């Protein structure tokens, strides 16, 4: 599965470069040069550093979004990028290990959980976090609730709710760095990180230890047999 993913991704990338080398280069350059977006988790850390006097976070309007420039924005973005790659690797390993240890339908659900966790990691750890990215969290929250992962469902729902409270009504306040709006976004980002941690924990649970728990949590409802009519 992992080999197929790598080969498929590589073929798509090679086809893109072959069809438009300049376009592929411009796309990569665009995202590398894009500043840290003001609502991202990285931006929350930069604003915290600014608040304690560790460098100044300068607002900038660039690449069709509002961002921040800070002396540590490059190294911090690199750290978050490394964390993102680590989260993706954990999701891949967890899905592969869970599929081998658990029988259907649990193996399919482990794959779904790993996939949704990987998607959530882009929102939590990327240097750009637009409000619409939280749509990616809706399936994770819904399935977590259905699979009795109540803590994960509650945290994911909380992150979505805070995003709705922040955008669009208070987005201008975030850009203006009004304290209440900045704290609102920071709290949302903390919940995002917590949701990611809980999802990674659930996806990476030891298959041997989790076999009984998964069987109970992911067991399909038993089909009820219709009573036979009495013989006459």
* Any domain includes 229: no
Where residue 94 falls among pLDDT bands split at 50, 70, 90? Answer: confident
The domain tally of the chain equals 1
* Any domain includes 198: yes
Asked if the model's pLDDT at residue 1 lies above 80, the reply is no
Section 165-187 average pLDDT: 96
In tens, the pLDDT along 124-165 reads 999 999 999 999 999 999 999 999 999 999 999 999 999 999
> Average pLDDT, whole number, for the chain?
86
Asked if the model's pLDDT at residue 170 lies above 90, the reply is yes
* Any domain includes 16: no
**Residue 98: what pLDDT?**
63
* Any domain includes 129: yes
Q: How far is CA 148 from CA 82, 178, 219, 225, in A?
A: 31, 38, 12, 26
Supply the range of the domain harboring residue 44. 35-205
* Any domain includes 10: no
* Any domain includes 12: no
Question: Where is pLDDT greater, at 111 or 181?
Answer: 181
């Amino acid at each position: 599965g992992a080999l197929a993913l790598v080969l498929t991704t590589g073929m798509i990338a090679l086809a893109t470069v072959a069809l438009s080398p300049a376009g592929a280069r411009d796309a990569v350059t665009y995202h590398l040069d894009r500043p840290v977006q003001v609502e991202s988790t990285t931006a929350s850390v930069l604003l915290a550093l600014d608040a304690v006097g560790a460098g100044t976070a300068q607002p900038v309007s660039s690449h069709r979004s509002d961002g921040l420039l800070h002396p540590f924005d490059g190294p911090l973005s690199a750290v978050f990028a490394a964390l993102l790659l680590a989260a993706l690797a954990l999701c891949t390993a967890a899905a592969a290990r869970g599929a081998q240890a658990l029988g259907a339908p649990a193996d399919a659900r482990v794959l779904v959980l790993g996939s949704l966790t990987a998607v959530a990691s882009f929102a939590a750890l990327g240097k750009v976090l637009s409000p619409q990215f939280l749509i990616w969290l809706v399936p994770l929250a819904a399935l977590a609730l259905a699979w009795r992962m109540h803590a994960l469902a509650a945290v994911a729902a909380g992150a979505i709710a805070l995003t709705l409270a922040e955008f669009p009504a208070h987005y201008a306040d975030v850009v203006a760095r009004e304290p209440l709006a900045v704290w609102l976004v920071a709290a949302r980002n903390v919940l995002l990180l917590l949701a990611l941690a809980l999802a990674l924990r659930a996806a990476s649970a030891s298959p041997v230890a989790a076999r009984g728990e998964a069987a109970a949590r992911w067991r399909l409802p038993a089909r009820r047999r219709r009573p036979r009519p009495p013989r006459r």
